[in-house]
Amino acid sequence: MISSFIGLYGDEHHEHFDEFGYIRLGKLVSPNELRDLCDRVDDLMMGHVTYDDMKFQLDGNSPGYSKLAPRSAAPTEKSLNYRRIDGLYNDPDFLVYSQHPVFRRITRRYIGEHVSAFRAMIMNKPAGLGTELPWHQDIGEGWGLDRNPTVTIWTALDPMTVDNGAMQIVPGSHKLGILNKGHYTSEADIEAHASASDVVDLTAEAGEAILIHNWMLHRSGVNDTTGPRRAYSIAYMDADTVAVESGEPFPVIFGENALRPAVS
């Protein structure tokens, strides 16, 4: 399942990540593996493959974020127009990918030995659809965690282009720290920190993985093309992180009690 190892995550990668809040990790998924992962996403949406503990959200009929459909434990209809699927660590192939040796190395450096996952999710902009995702940092009281994760790995399953709703980022904005306790950025902060000259289109090739600091400002638009724009995004965090309300921890990806299969 794991494609050719592109190299170690070393100090030079760390320095770029530290400076800009993101770094491209290269193509970690081969074309064959990509086809399998994309087929799995489609099978999940069409109800051909099912797991417990997942969440599905259909893309809305309007591109506005405020009109999103509720999330459900199973697909509410057979459709490729799901915007988001959560709980991908339930799927063996996505789990193996989530436990890629490069991710082990990165999480060991930034988190430690015991690492869990929050939001192992597919973010899809269905063909000709998509929802405007406003500027945000990947933190927030709404997440209900007892601490804020800082390490997300986002992988393009399709080519990401300006036309199909590639992410936009403000490199270096993670250095601003947490702008507010909510997920979304205020108009005043957008004006101050995300003006056109600050913004970069994070286009990517299919199979490319990108390490993203959760505090880096990012957004994405709609998909004006005839193909889907699918990405896999997983926030890694210290396995001691718990949900504030329930006190429950999250699925472990690396270290003791990691979901199987796991790398050493």
Ligand X SMILES: O=C(O)CCC(=O)C(=O)O
Query: Which residues, in sequence order, are bridge partners of residue 115?
Result: 238, 254
- The CB-of-154 to ligand X minimum distance in angstroms stands at 5
Torsion over CA: 125, 70, 246, 50 (sign): negative
Residue found by looking up tokens 């601490």 in the block? 147
Angle at 78 between CA 76 and CA 82, to 5 degrees: 70
Both tokens of 210, joined, read 């990108």
Q: Does 167 help bind ligand X (rule: CB under 6 A)?
A: yes
- The CB-of-234 to ligand X minimum distance in angstroms stands at 8
Residue found by looking up tokens 């057979």 in the block? 78
- The CB-of-67 to ligand X minimum distance in angstroms stands at 17
Backbone φ, ψ for residue 213 (5° rounding): -75, 130
Q: Does 230 help bind ligand X (rule: CB under 6 A)?
A: no
- The CB-of-165 to ligand X minimum distance in angstroms stands at 6
Residue found by looking up tokens 């926030």 in the block? 235
**Using the rule CB under 6 A, which residue among 97, 154, 215, 254 binds ligand X?**
154
Q: Does 135 help bind ligand X (rule: CB under 6 A)?
A: no
**Using the rule CB under 6 A, which residue among 81, 116, 185, 220 binds ligand X?**
220
Q: Does 133 help bind ligand X (rule: CB under 6 A)?
A: yes
Q: Does 218 help bind ligand X (rule: CB under 6 A)?
A: yes
Angle at 127 between CA 123 and CA 129, to 5 degrees: 75
**Using the rule CB under 6 A, which residue among 111, 123, 151, 169 binds ligand X?**
123
Q: Does 102 help bind ligand X (rule: CB under 6 A)?
A: no
Q: Which is nearer to ligand X, 184 or 242 (CB)?
A: 184
Q: Does 103 help bind ligand X (rule: CB under 6 A)?
A: no
Q: Does 231 help bind ligand X (rule: CB under 6 A)?
A: yes
**Residues 6+ positions from 54 with CB-CB distance below 8 Å:** 44, 73, 74, 85, 86, 87, 88, 90
- The CB-of-199 to ligand X minimum distance in angstroms stands at 14
**Residues 6+ positions from 171 with CB-CB distance below 8 Å:** 20, 21, 22, 200, 216
**Using the rule CB under 6 A, which residue among 149, 233, 237, 239 binds ligand X?**
233
Q: Does 155 help bind ligand X (rule: CB under 6 A)?
A: no
Q: Which is nearer to ligand X, 123 or 170 (CB)?
A: 123
- The CB-of-59 to ligand X minimum distance in angstroms stands at 12
Q: Which is nearer to ligand X, 169 or 255 (CB)?
A: 169
- The CB-of-55 to ligand X minimum distance in angstroms stands at 15
Binding residues for ligand X, rule CB under 6 A, total 10
**Residues 6+ positions from 88 with CB-CB distance below 8 Å:** 54, 94, 95, 98, 120, 121, 122, 232, 234
Written as one string, the DSSP assignment of 187-204 is HHHHHHH--GGG-EEE-B
Q: Does 138 help bind ligand X (rule: CB under 6 A)?
A: yes
Q: Which residues bind ligand X (CB under 6 A)?
A: 123, 133, 138, 152, 154, 167, 218, 220, 231, 233
